[in-house]
Structure 1
């Protein structure tokens, strides 16, 4: 059947032959950006997200640099310096274990292709499973990309191919291995001795990013074909395997796998990379937006239980950021610390009134003197000064809070049965939603720290000092803060205090003796204990209990450790105050989980049911308005009407009865007119085909004139 032939009517899309001019400008502003680009909230959102994207790209490059360099060096080690091939039909094959996060593979292989083209060879082909259903298609796509240096990652290059190349390119059906062999011989193995020394040989790299999705027989034949041409073509394979190397060995029999020289490269697993992205970019006091406990838990649950996609997690955080800023100029204060004062003084009277209505402002207002309360409501300039001061305090608080979270993670990561968590994101979720220091789990963790050995405790303190030195070495400059910003023991002062105390305890613990010291009683106390009061049984009982007690044994290390644990409890109680206790926390923290959950966690079944049973909710038209959810009208779309009628039937639906009910709603008049109207039958046939496409019904083999109901 041709691609444009269908049982029912449809719309078929054909690629346009229009070619963009070479000097055409691709910069186009969306309608959303044109409408809101002058709004303060949109400027703040765009600036903050561009900064986050830059940091993500830097982290992405840093993460994959080592892995990509190893793969490139492996490819360079073959067919170098125009030497003769000595592999004798064995194909060098780099196997990259990517993990199951399929959406993230695109960026990973994009970076790999760019690096190979820049450092090794421009002749690189990446073939996906959907483009290689047969061996013929696989060979054609591979050869065509290798010969034409096909730029997969640049769509504009595809559109302007005919304009940029003066020579006529081959058609797909002309691309065979013989054609590739002749092309490579004419390009790099020319018989002319002068050109032979001036033109260096280049390897041909074939990348298969989704190995598990390929047909095994097609890949086996492809490997055998490449092996037969290896004496004249320097080809290297790069396989992207999502599961394990055993999948590659199970797909190839011995006579095929013996033709591959496999070397395995391991990429970071999805949870590890997710933790790195969150800790380095979003769980940091320098981040402009911070997530509440429920919102953060929702996003991480979607990652861990659904797709393992770091790209999807970043886009979800971006949506939360859009929801936080959208049409609210107050959220323009959610910005870098250096821009707070400028953003505050751009607020209008309505924005200031909206800030006064925030729930966290009331406790702060009640704690102020009477005259200050009046000034906060009547004097906008005074309120702006207070707002600047409090927002700077919140940034200092964030520095102390994230420092405490990371220090707590350094002490808890190796504890047994740690219910709080072992990673920064798990501990952050707990700390941001409750008073963690008042929980039983926190007290149990402190007790476990109090039982740690000297070596282990010293290592934990060194880890905490490393966190302070690397993550919090650079603090905000005082020129960007108000005079009262550093009055409290938060922010930079808190960081310095913690560092000094940890260094002090570290020195004491390193020099502490672990030998036990027996605490004995003095002679006077012994004589006092031996005094017996006649007739006092209580005193006698107490003296007998004291006599049976074992003398307390405690070393110098244990005493210092007890003091250190006591300091940790005080420090965490001060630094891990949850955000909802802070004034104006609504400006910096996103907590509207309900609105985001509908968009991030999709419910397609419910959405389809709502669209078919009550289309007015999506179409927003008066003709589809129904008196009740069970009623039907002739103004409804045909598929909605057929869906409503099919819900009234049982498991097996008689098509004739269904058609009669459908026609009765459209034409409630004479039955003879309905039977003779072919338009109704056509509309009904199309509606049934659409319901079958959506998966609500299927044809029944038991009864030819019936369909089987599949859902509900």
Structure 2
């Protein structure tokens, strides 16, 4: 950019108006290949907004579950800091001067959830207790020197501002000078000036009210993974500075508190004052997340029964991670909005009605192609069928009504589901499941009243004691109390009337069986005085049939009649409101049914992927020279692929010499060399080295192992291939 002016001056050049190439974002990938770009953008924004609401709900659930244990940890940290400052006599009686307070936090085996819990703990400690909080992982503490270095660097980086860091010379930056003595000097310098205590970038020191000597808290995230030797040395060093530094350790334990005794000898544990804390169980956490995200009408998106089975199965049989369950639910949400064009209607009722009025002709045609809508059309009169198949405006009107009906269905479905769970969750052997998620999956997959388990549950309910039945009825009344729909209000009124009638029953009424249990009476002919001396099988059978008939015709007590009436009413509620979602028109708008896609993405099969890569390297390397016929060995393939193909032709034990000869033959053909008859049986050193490396790679991947049966053989560990 130049000017032709000969005068001196200041020239302003406007920036170029050419648009810079914008990097692709998530929205671009979402609408890539879509026929209707505007529809895809709406679905992406709707998906993003819905996930933000669900994410905020999960965070609030996490905070509520951890609130009790986090408050206990905060109180423990405050008491430890107060004990260090007060130096009272009773403190000395409970904790010797060389002891370090330790909070042993048992988090469970769901390792992926630990970071979330410990991060929340670290944030709350920095906000209310001390700005000096350090989190250390096992991979950062391979040696005592590196562990000390990490602790010192993170403490000084968090506690000092940039200007103070430049001016401070108390702590040398060289690794060789990193020691707790230098940390003591720095701590004393900082504590002399309270304004120097800064909790980092989140809040200024003026907004915080810390004590004069805030404790230094070190969080060991994964205690089991730490080297016992390094941990012992670090604790021994820290115990020498407990008079100068208010240290406090937090151990994140995944297995059992006995891990501390296994890792540390008594001479080291005697230097620690340990208090045990237990976090909430992962199963309880999962139940709360499902309750807030799935079993609620607030979120229009719903996973189908198979999708929920995939997510819960991964939780139960793989990692017990609620974090991964939430990520799987997010993937299901994204997959639904990406693959279903009509998911643009999966929003709040008011927004869905407005968008239904603005549907294009192409979207109306997609509604007509939905299986649930086709079934709905078939149930209508012939004239109405013609209107729905030819008139777009009529489809939009009906679509608005169906969407409102779908919302009403969910508002009725979930409370009745909870009532049924209350009645059946305490029955022997749990015929409909102990957890509500099990009953929910059953109701999503089939009509629950058609199952044998439901009939078994009804039979058990018909002999339920009065006190248990009354308690369950009162809980059901509380569940239905809000009454957001007319059906729920009527059910609430009816159950309240039944509860009142149970309470009005006279306790002195002559029941045929106390507490609702059937009383079996033996005929006088089988009593001690009238027992026949001789009888045959026919006479015995006749007598038993008479006893059974008399039991059937026996007059029932008022409690039994009322109990049967109550169970019959619950049965009618179940058949009315717990129908399968597939029976509702336009259910495809809200329900994600892509269970196969979720299983493919979440349930990893590394062995299958590795076998596919070794069998068909062209699919991964995209090299035309690697194309080959099915089952053929490409001579240009990588060594490990050639070795894998050759090992498929062997049995349980593989002769290394024969394997080397076969490999050499294939490689020689690839290099275009003619084998010399005089050099038969000899292999080039380079090829020999390549062969050894390929064998080592296959051993590392788990396809073979060394064996002691024969010294020149290896054992094959897998069978079959892609």
Q: Is this a same-fold pair by TM over 0.5?
A: yes
Moved more, 336-345 or 34-43: 34-43
Which of residues 513, 525, 528 is equivalent to 2:506? 513
Distance 1:263 1:570, change over 3 A: same
| CA distance in structure 1 between the partners assigned to 2:354 and 2:411 by the alignment | 22
Structure 2 residue 174 is the aligned partner of structure 1 residue 174? no
| CA distance in structure 2 between the partners assigned to 1:374 and 1:624 by the alignment | 58
Corresponding residue for residue 101 of structure 2: 92
Moved more, 119-128 or 686-695: 686-695
Q: How far apart are residue 582 of structure 1 and its match?
A: 1.6
Corresponding residue for residue 60 of structure 1: 62
Which of residues 116, 133, 146 is equivalent to 2:155? 146
Q: Is the 8 A contact 1:659 1:681 kept in 2?
A: no
Distance 1:130 1:322, change over 3 A: same
Distance 1:497 1:390, change over 3 A: same
Structure 2 residue 402 is the aligned partner of structure 1 residue 408? no
Moved more, 561-570 or 661-670: 661-670
Q: Secondary structure at the match of 2:501?
A: helix
Distance 1:352 1:677, change over 3 A: farther
Q: How far apart are residue 450 of structure 1 and its match?
A: 2.2
CA RMSD of aligned residues (A): 3.2
Which of residues 309, 320, 337 is equivalent to 1:325? 337
Corresponding residue for residue 120 of structure 2: 111
Structure 2 residue 284 is the aligned partner of structure 1 residue 280? no
Structure 2 residue 349 is the aligned partner of structure 1 residue 299? no
Q: How far apart are residue 572 of structure 1 and its match?
A: 0.9
Equivalences for residues 121-140 of structure 1 within 5 A: 121-140=130-149
Q: Is the 8 A contact 1:76 1:120 kept in 2?
A: yes
Moved more, 80-89 or 636-645: 80-89
Structure 2 residue 38 is the aligned partner of structure 1 residue 34? no
Q: How far apart are residue 569 of structure 1 and its match?
A: 0.7
Which of residues 395, 400, 404 is equivalent to 1:388? 400
Distance 1:453 1:518, change over 3 A: closer
Equivalences for residues 351-370 of structure 1 within 5 A: 351-370=363-382
Corresponding residue for residue 595 of structure 2: 593
Q: Secondary structure at the match of 2:585?
A: coil
Corresponding residue for residue 662 of structure 1: 666
Moved more, 100-109 or 368-377: 368-377
Distance 1:548 1:50, change over 3 A: closer
| CA distance in structure 2 between the partners assigned to 1:162 and 1:697 by the alignment | 56
Corresponding residue for residue 233 of structure 1: 245
Q: How far apart are residue 249 of structure 1 and its match?
A: 3.0
Q: How far apart are residue 355 of structure 1 and its match?
A: 1.8
Structure 2 residue 283 is the aligned partner of structure 1 residue 271? yes
Q: Is the 8 A contact 1:97 1:242 kept in 2?
A: yes
Q: Which whole-Å deviations, capped at 9, do the CAs of 1:555-583 have from their partners, x for residues lacking one?
A: 33322212111111111111111112221
| CA distance in structure 1 between the partners assigned to 2:611 and 2:167 by the alignment | 55
Q: Secondary structure at the match of 1:201?
A: coil
| CA distance in structure 2 between the partners assigned to 1:547 and 1:407 by the alignment | 34
Q: Secondary structure at the match of 1:125?
A: strand
Q: How far apart are residue 658 of structure 1 and its match?
A: 4.3
Q: Which whole-Å deviations, capped at 9, do the CAs of 1:117-160 have from their partners, x for residues lacking one?
A: 11111111111111112333333322332333289xxxxxxxxx
| CA distance in structure 1 between the partners assigned to 2:447 and 2:598 by the alignment | 25
Q: Is the 8 A contact 2:357 2:397 kept in 1?
A: no
Which of residues 694, 698, 702 is equivalent to 2:701? 694
| CA distance in structure 2 between the partners assigned to 1:582 and 1:372 by the alignment | 19
| CA distance in structure 1 between the partners assigned to 2:448 and 2:99 by the alignment | 60
Q: Is the 8 A contact 1:324 1:331 kept in 2?
A: yes
Q: Which whole-Å deviations, capped at 9, do the CAs of 1:38-76 have from their partners, x for residues lacking one?
A: 523222221211111111112112221222111011100
Structure 2 residue 493 is the aligned partner of structure 1 residue 500? yes
| CA distance in structure 2 between the partners assigned to 1:44 and 1:618 by the alignment | 35
Distance 1:663 1:546, change over 3 A: closer
Corresponding residue for residue 444 of structure 1: 456
Corresponding residue for residue 604 of structure 1: 606
Q: Is the 8 A contact 2:635 2:666 kept in 1?
A: no
Corresponding residue for residue 390 of structure 2: 378
Q: Is the 8 A contact 1:653 1:709 kept in 2?
A: no
| CA distance in structure 1 between the partners assigned to 2:601 and 2:163 by the alignment | 43
Structure 2 residue 267 is the aligned partner of structure 1 residue 255? yes
Q: Is the 8 A contact 1:632 1:665 kept in 2?
A: no
Corresponding residue for residue 8 of structure 2: none
Corresponding residue for residue 203 of structure 2: none
Q: Is the 8 A contact 2:425 2:432 kept in 1?
A: no
In structure 1, runs of 5+ residues without a counterpart are 1-27, 152-160, 192-197, 476-491, 520-540
| CA distance in structure 2 between the partners assigned to 1:120 and 1:326 by the alignment | 46
Q: Secondary structure at the match of 2:218?
A: strand
Q: How far apart are residue 30 of structure 1 and its match?
A: 4.5
Q: Is the 8 A contact 2:340 2:589 kept in 1?
A: no
Which of residues 99, 105, 110 is equivalent to 1:101? 110
Output the TM-score relative to the length of structure 2.
0.80
| CA distance in structure 2 between the partners assigned to 1:283 and 1:414 by the alignment | 20
Distance 1:350 1:547, change over 3 A: closer
In structure 2, runs of 5+ residues without a counterpart are 1-21, 32-37, 195-209, 513-541
Q: How far apart are residue 599 of structure 1 and its match?
A: 1.3
Corresponding residue for residue 584 of structure 1: 586
Q: Is the 8 A contact 1:140 1:173 kept in 2?
A: no
Corresponding residue for residue 632 of structure 1: 633
| CA distance in structure 1 between the partners assigned to 2:640 and 2:163 by the alignment | 47
Corresponding residue for residue 4 of structure 2: none
Q: How far apart are residue 699 of structure 1 and its match?
A: 6.4
| CA distance in structure 2 between the partners assigned to 1:171 and 1:241 by the alignment | 33
Structure 2 residue 124 is the aligned partner of structure 1 residue 120? no
Q: Is the 8 A contact 2:136 2:221 kept in 1?
A: yes
Q: How far apart are residue 640 of structure 1 and its match?
A: 2.1
Q: How far apart are residue 603 of structure 1 and its match?
A: 0.9
| CA distance in structure 2 between the partners assigned to 1:309 and 1:497 by the alignment | 41
Q: Secondary structure at the match of 2:661?
A: helix
